[in-house]
Amino acid sequence: MNIEVTKRKRSRIKKVDFNNLEFGVDFSDHMFSVRYGEGKWGAPKIEPYGTIKIEPSLCSLHYGQVVFEGLKAFRTVTGKINLFRPDKYHERFNRSNERLCIPFIPYELFINGIKELVLLDQAWIPEKKGCSLYIRPFIFATDNFLGVRVSYTYNFTIITSPVGAYYKEGLNPVRLITSGEYVRAAKGGLGAVKTPANYAASLLPGEEAKKKGFTQVLWLDAAENRYIEEVGTMNIAFIIDGKLVTPPLEGSILPGVTRDSVISLANHWGIPVEERQISIEEVFAKAKDGSLQEVFGTGTAAVISPVGWIQHAGEMITIHNGEIGPLSQKFYDEITGMHYGEKPDLFGWCLTL
């Protein structure tokens, strides 16, 4: 595949403080893009990161025909570059695209775009443990049209961003609160799709949660407001009586890649895994009888994020004394160990560049 490359004359990298990276505020020097129209992909290019020219009638601004992904590149301890499970992200990208009537993105286009971009901007991959180059591929409809219909044209773009921990808490436990008023997604809707609408729906409840001193909302199901779904920026898992319990993929939660990695590791370690409905009442009951040992979120941005407190209907539980639990730490160590090439890549998840 031939990618036309136009390099930036002078890098902006010196402006970035790699010792204090936040999530998603700095962007590397270049971006990849390719257009789709008349039923085929155009010529891919890499050019300096910068503005995209659009018309105000761009249909995706009005009706949200947009899908994105998020994956990471790591600088390994031996100086190589690891992409973590890119095939899995590609698969999910296309499942989301299918739901939003967006064309299939061939693996070659996805992976070669990422590889060339990451290699060109490899100076932007942080070396510090806990930091990485976050890769954000996204596709948006580009017809200029105000009727509601599927667009004929698209722009598939990839940008990258050197990042630190997603939450200001880092690996310290976060605080979650359920919402009695709002829902994230109903079955048959867009909950399993990585599309901006889900994130837009979470903003107001998220702001209200923050005002009350919580990190994020713990979403319950739309039908009964009982069964635990996810956290919006991550999936959720519970350690109950030594078993890993996590809500099943039934269409309203995002099929997380880190969720999948945790399940594979648990199976490998002989930890029983239950992908099943779990109600908030059960979680509170298990906290009270002492069998709820740990709770943690799993996500690409968040990796493993221990949960120390959950509030529901005015009542709060504290999990593992508000401290990181041993299994949360073990999953974190194992997964990040693979990221940085410190631990064996047990399942062949890393694509080393």
Residue numbers 94-113 binding ligand COI by CB under 6 A: none
Residues in the chain: 353
Nearer to ligand COI, 317 or 332 (CB): 332
Nearer to ligand COI, 137 or 325 (CB): 137
CA distance 223 to 71: 31
Q: Tell me how far, at minimum, the Cβ of 285 lies from ligand COI, in Å.
A: 30
Residue from 60, 82, 161, 233 touching ligand COI (CB under 6 A): that is 233
Give the footprint of ligand COI on residues 247-306 (CB under 6 A).
Answer: 299-301
Paired sense of beta strands 66-68 and 71-75, if any: unpaired
In this complex, which beta carbon is closest to ligand COI, that of residue 143 or of residue 229? Answer: 229
Cβ-based nearer residue to ligand COI, 247 or 292: 247
* Whether 206 contacts 217, CB under 8 Å: yes
Distances (CA, A) of 221 to 188, 225, 318: 12, 5, 22
Nearer to ligand COI, 124 or 166 (CB): 166
Choose among 171, 59, 110, 135: nearest CA to 300. Answer: 135
Nearer CB in complex with ligand COI: 100/292: 100
Tokens (6 digits) for 305: 């994020």
Query: Which one-letter DSSP state was computed for residue 190?
Result: T
For the CB of residue 70, give the shortest distance to ligand COI in the complex, in Å. Answer: 3
Least gap, CB of 339 to ligand COI (angstroms): 14
Q: Give the list of residues 6+ apart from residue 335 with CB closer than 8 angstroms, or none.
A: 258, 261, 262, 265, 303, 304
CB of 233 to ligand COI, least distance (A): 4
Q: Find, among 253, 281, 282, 88, the residue nearest to 185 by Cα.
A: 253
CB of 301 to ligand COI, least distance (A): 3
Tokens of residue 101, six digits? 């009537």
Cβ pair 176, 307 in contact under 8 A: yes
Query: Which residue bears the tokens 């239950």?
Result: 274
What's the min distance (Å) between Cβ of 24 and ligand COI? 7
Look-up of token digits 């269409």: 251
Which amino acid belongs to residue 122? Q
Site string (41-70) toward ligand COI, x via CB under 6 A: -----------------------------x
Q: Please report how close the Cβ of residue 302 comes to ligand COI at its closest, in angstroms.
A: 6
**Mask of contacts with ligand COI, 185-224, x by CB under 6 A?**
--------------x-------------------------
Task: Tell me the angle at which helices 257-269 and 86-99 cross, rounded to the nearest 10 degrees.
Answer: 130
Kindly state the smallest distance separating residue 72's Cβ from ligand COI, in Å. 8
Total residues at interface with ligand COI (CB under 6 A): 6
Could you say whether residue 162 binds ligand COI (CB under 6 A)?
no
Binding site for ligand COI (CB under 6 A): 70, 199, 233, 299-301
